[in-house]
Structure 1
Amino acid sequence: MLSRLVLVFLFVVQTNSLSVLTDDKSQTTKNDGETVLVRQLLNQETVIRMALDRKVNDLVKGIADLKKNMETSNQQLQDAKREIETNKQQLQDAKKEIETNNQQLQDAKKEIETNNQQLQDATNEIASLIKENSALKAQWQVQSNLTAFLSDNLKTTINSLKQSQNSQRELSSAVSSLQVFQRNMSVLSGPAKVTPVAFTAGMTSYSSWWQGEILVFPHVITNKGQGYSSSSGKFTAPRDGTYVFTVTTVSYSTNALYLDIVQDGVRKVRTVSSSSASSMTGTNLVVLELDRGDAVWVERNSGRGYNSYSVPLTTFSGFIL
């Protein structure tokens, strides 16, 4: 558009110049002396027109180059925009990947915590087994030393009796002494002391709307052998044996409550706290043969709520015979 305006301007200038020069030329017929001047003016006009043409061409070329540069710049701008969009998408993908990695890290932390807890439980169990093994080794050592001592005494006594003139009397006396010594040693050595297993846990507050499954007794009064867990409400047998369990419940107000003593998912006995009056007591007892690792707990059969105070009314107990 700019180039067209320049050309129109030049055309107007040239037209005006030619009209002036033509008028001057008509006048030169009267005066030959002015002819040279007209020719000089025409030559100057030609030179000026050629210079203007060159400038116009240069200007048009410059405008064309500017247009090309603008097109190139626009293309570069479009490429830059596309690159920015690509970088934004890559940034979004990177954020999603970071979130996924963070979630995986959280899951790994939880798994590590679980493994650490299992390792701690295994360490405690190993420590208990080591103590039990040490006690058995000490008992075996005492019995081994006793056997060796008795054997040496018997050999010495027999050799002495063989050399004695009164062999019959001395042999009888030695046998009697040996029997007395053996009885005394048996009494002294006796069976190895076994760690007792017994627990009592209770509730120190009431609940009018409790309707859970396992009733967890958080207040531990006694826990010999560490078989009862106040966090899960379950007793786990530390060794094989015959165990006695008892549970006592007091209902809340006139609510009915039915609780069972359960061994590894099998219901054994049930307590009944009826709704015929307020704060009804239900109790029951069971004797169970347990293998090491068997679990026993108290589970709700039906009903809701229980009553208790800071000195427990609702309790769960057990011990090994």
Structure 2
Amino acid sequence: MLCHRFLRCFMFLRLHALLLANSLLTGSDTEISVPPQNHTLSNNPRILRDILNQETLVRFSMIQKMQVFTMDIIEIKRNNNLLMNKVDALMKEQASATERHSVLEKENEKLRQQVNALQEKSTALDTTDKNWENMIGTHDVEITNLQDIYGNITKDIGELRQSLYGNVRKDIGESKESLSDMNRRLDSWNTSITHFLSDRENVMPEHVAFHAVAYSSTSVDDIIFDHVITNIGGGYDNATGVFIVPTTGLYVLSWTIEAHGRLTEGVLLVNGVQEGLTKAHEVSSHYDTTTSFAVLNLTVNDTVWVRVITGRAEARHTMFSGWKINKTGTYTAFNALLSRDVSGYHIVYDNDTLDTHNAYSTSTGNFVAPRSGLYVFMMSAVNFGKFDYNCWIRFSNGNSQPNVWVDSQSGYYDSSSFMTFGWLNAGEYVYVDADRMRKTSVFAGWQLVDDMSVSKSTYPAFISRLSSRYSGTPVLFNQTFSGYHHGYSVTTGIFTADRDGVYVFLYNIEAYNEIVLTTLRVNGVDKFELRSAGRSTEYDDTSAVSVLQLSSGDQVSVGLKHGTVDDDESLFFGVLLFEM
């Protein structure tokens, strides 16, 4: 009996649970009917079948719901993966946008710097315009003064003429021919004054030479060489840094750039067009200086200046100089560059930008003298990478010459420059001898005088070398070259001018493992300073050009301010350009 009651209760609870589950799954309210107490399940098989059938339906319904639920979960996972992919894509786009934003900010900063540079250039041009206006105003005042003088003279002439007429009236016996002669002389006087006023503005200087030093550093801008040492002919303006050509002709130009711990490039511009390039390049905390040359055919009012296009040019050791070759049209001149890197002992410069008498050959690299005379040659040797070697300018007549040393290190530029001279007969040739040479290297020269018009033994010219390390002052360059030399003493290290004139000098100082400071001195007074910075356990040489107006008896030397000058490649050169 107890078992029977327990079975009935169990079946009742199971039926209750099934109906409740069915109600939850189907969302319908199902009433649970409780059989009467006196009605047993075992006595009613139909009720048991209904319960089992309903259980089966509930199971099927639960399976379907679980399948739907499973599909929903799969769909949610798939959607979640899609969302994660979209999030990754958005994050990549955000990173790319951030990078583009950074690039745009840098470009914007560059544009801002260019705008500032243009504004500064505009300000400089405004200043130049004001300077020109002031100059024009000064000339106008001078012309006005001359016109006043002319007016006074005219007035005096009128008074004189009236006086003469009065005397003529008083003196009946004076002849009319004498009066006509006086009138002709007065008319001639008026014509001479008129021509003087007209020709005044057309006067061009016979001699032109300048040298200036920048006393402030310059970064990516036009260099203003504000400290003027020489300015014959008045062509250089130290307010703008521009040389305005005062008279048409052939000109030699030289510019020196000093860099500190970086690459600095300086270009020579003529009317805004690049005509030359220098590269000073050094590791951090070290200095490097480079000098280059150009021989150009310039026209009156051409503008010439130097611009830093990369890095910064350091103050007091950055310079600009130039002079006019006076025998334009008579004597030859040439300027040759390299358009590619070359190697070999006989360097062939393949780009002759100037060759007045077809004396230089781009196929052989030789300059052949078209006539006998004194010639001056210049070389700027540029190298890149881990190389070191000597460079010479060779003469076919056996004229001995010193050498310079080029020693660049891996990943850096280096250059060496020097000038020399030689007396050549017609047909003798000159070339550059070096292991290799980088493009932008320069070989140039010109004829200075005819050997028929001067004495070789007394013409002021010299090139000398230091044969051993030296720590005294003035630096004693104790070995001379080129056969003929005049004016320089190997016992004192001093050049003495024997006539009034304009002279050009170049000196090159080699330093070893230290900084060497030197100066070019005139009568014991420093004109400018040069810094040679030998890298650790390595060499470095530095050169610069100076143009000086000297009087007879003036003395020029190289003074040592700090360090010890190394031997062999340390040179001192000078020559008279023209007498004044």
- Going by fraction, where is helix more abundant, 1 or 2? 1
Provide TM-score, normalisation by structure 2: 0.30
Q: Which has the higher contact order (CA 8 A, sep 6+)?
A: 1
Provide TM-score, normalisation by structure 1: 0.48
When Rg is computed on C-alpha atoms for both structures, the one with the higher figure is 1
